């Protein structure tokens, strides 16, 4: 039986997709944290599959996405960025402007995903490191966009 590896979000839930019928459902993985072995699930289509929850580190997807960011708390200038990697916990990006970002700066981001729906997500993030124009950032909260991002990141 195939074991599906899924990544757990900030809030302890994860999205699981049935390989047989494509139905998705949200599972509360937090309660299962100590099990450390795959969980067997039965879908409403009767297909049985195994899920392994990955808590350590978030799956980071290499990408090339367009986005904009602005510094908080005053959102007066949206600057362009190119996102090189994305996960449930943050993004790595290159700013296309001469940069004035510093560690611990708080940002609002608009990220354009290249999924079928061309989803746009908005996330608050904090700058973790700066290397020239390369920036590492972490999202600061869970929000309604996490579901879209979760689908986008499904391996
Ligand atoms: Zn199913």
Segment 10-33, tens digit of pLDDT: 667 788 888 889 898 888 776 665
**pTM of the entire predicted model:** 0.65
8: which DSSP letter? P
CA of 47 to the centre of ligand 1 (A): 5
Q: Is the pLDDT of residue 34 over 70?
A: no
CA of 132 to the centre of ligand 1 (A): 47
CA of 50 to the centre of ligand 1 (A): 12
Q: Is the pLDDT of residue 115 over 70?
A: yes
CA of 91 to the centre of ligand 1 (A): 32
pLDDT single digits (tens) 57-94? 567 888 999 999 999 988 788 999 999 999 888 999 99
The tokens for 51 are 């899920």
Among residues 102, 107, 94, the alpha carbon closest in space to that of 141 is found at 107
Domain architecture of the chain: domains with CATH: 3-54 (no CATH), 61-144 (2.40.10.220)
CA of 18 to the centre of ligand 1 (A): 5
The tokens for 67 are 């986005």
């Amino acid at each position: 039986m195939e074991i599906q590896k899924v990544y757990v979000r900030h809030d302890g839930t994860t999205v699981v997709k049935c390989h047989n019928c494509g139905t998705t459902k949200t599972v509360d993985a937090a309660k299962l944290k100590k099990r450390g072995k795959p969980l067997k699930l039965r879908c409403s289509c009767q297909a049985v599959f195994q899920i392994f929850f990955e808590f350590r580190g978030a799956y980071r997807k290499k990408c090339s996405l367009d986005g904009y960011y602005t510094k908080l708390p005053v959102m007066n200038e949206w600057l362009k960025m190119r996102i090189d990697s994305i996960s449930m916990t943050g993004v790595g990006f290159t700013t296309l402007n001469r940069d004035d970002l510093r560690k611990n700066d708080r940002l609002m981001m608009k990220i354009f995903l290249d999924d079928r729906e061309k989803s746009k997500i908005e996330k608050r993030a904090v700058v973790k490191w700066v290397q020239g124009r390369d920036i590492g950032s972490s999202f600061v909260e869970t929000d309604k966009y996490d579901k879209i991002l979760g689908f986008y990141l499904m391996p």
